[in-house]
């Protein structure tokens, strides 16, 4: 079973995450940030990963700590659930449209964390979600999961659509990258 449970308790957030890489896309998400819950639900459904997230954060300040720390814990849970990474596809890419927006994600679960993020948002906020937190979420997730992650808005106008296309492209790329497709570690170095 490729599952993991992780927690993070700080003065700013109290987070519990459960991940099942082979779970079928079920989710139970509660962060107190409606649009972020919507994005995490899309991530679970489109990746086929069961994802449970409970986050109680200092939303009286803003959404920054809740979103970034949730990315940290989801990344840690993915890394733990992957275990030795033997047999995983390792690479995943997806190009996803959302109405007028088009986004691309390409990833390598390499053990070498890196983020290239290229997206611009005309809106500062979507509900209680600051659009600038999209990059912070994916940075936290990539660095804690040990993945090289490239996310790019090809084009778009609506911040909701751009953000959703980015999350869904990530989900589809992740679905491919964590898929078991062999019995060996896909690395000439012999380690990831």
User: What does the pLDDT look like over 23-66, one tens digit per residue?
Assistant: 999 999 999 999 999 999 999 999 999 999 999 999 999 999 99
Phi, then psi, of 151 in degrees rounded to 5: -125, 130
What pLDDT, on a 0 to 100 scale, did the predictor assign at position 12? 97
What pLDDT, on a 0 to 100 scale, did the predictor assign at position 186? 78
**Rounded Cα–Cα distance for residues 106 and 62 (Å):** 30
What pLDDT, on a 0 to 100 scale, did the predictor assign at position 187? 80
What pLDDT, on a 0 to 100 scale, did the predictor assign at position 162? 98
What pLDDT, on a 0 to 100 scale, did the predictor assign at position 58? 97
What pLDDT, on a 0 to 100 scale, did the predictor assign at position 70? 98
Q: Residues in the chain, how many?
A: 192
Low-confidence ranges of the chain (pLDDT < 50): none
79 contact partners, CB below 8 Å, separation of at least 6: 4, 144, 145, 146
User: Bridge-partner residues for 4, per DSSP?
Assistant: 19
Phi-psi region of 18 (alpha: psi -120 to 50; beta: other; left: phi over 0): beta
Residue range 3-178, CATH number: 3.30.230.40
What pLDDT, on a 0 to 100 scale, did the predictor assign at position 183? 86
What pLDDT, on a 0 to 100 scale, did the predictor assign at position 57? 97
Packing angle, helices 159-178 and 34-47, rounded to 10 = 30
């Amino acid at each position: 079973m490729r599952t993991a449970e992780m927690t993070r308790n700080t003065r700013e957030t109290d987070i519990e995450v459960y991940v099942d890489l082979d779970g079928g896309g079920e989710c139970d998400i509660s962060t107190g940030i409606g649009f972020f819950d919507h994005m995490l639900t899309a991530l679970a459904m489109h990746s086929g990963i069961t994802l449970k997230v409970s986050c109680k954060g200092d939303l009286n300040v803003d959404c920054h700590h809740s979103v970034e720390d949730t990315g940290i814990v989801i990344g840690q849970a993915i890394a733990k659930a992957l275990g030795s990474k033997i047999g995983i596809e390792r690479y995943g890419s997806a190009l996803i449209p959302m109405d007028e927006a088009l986004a691309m994600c390409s990833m390598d679960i390499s053990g070498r964390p890196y983020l290239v993020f290229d997206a611009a948002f005309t809106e500062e906020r979507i509900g209680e979600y600051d659009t600038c937190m999209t990059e912070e979420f994916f940075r936290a997730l990539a660095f804690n999961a040990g993945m090289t992650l490239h996310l790019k808005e090809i084009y778009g106008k609506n911040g909701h659509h751009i953000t959703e296309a980015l999350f869904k492209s990530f989900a589809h790329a992740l679905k491919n990258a964590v898929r078991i497709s062999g019995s060996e570690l896909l690395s000439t170095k012999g380690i990831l």
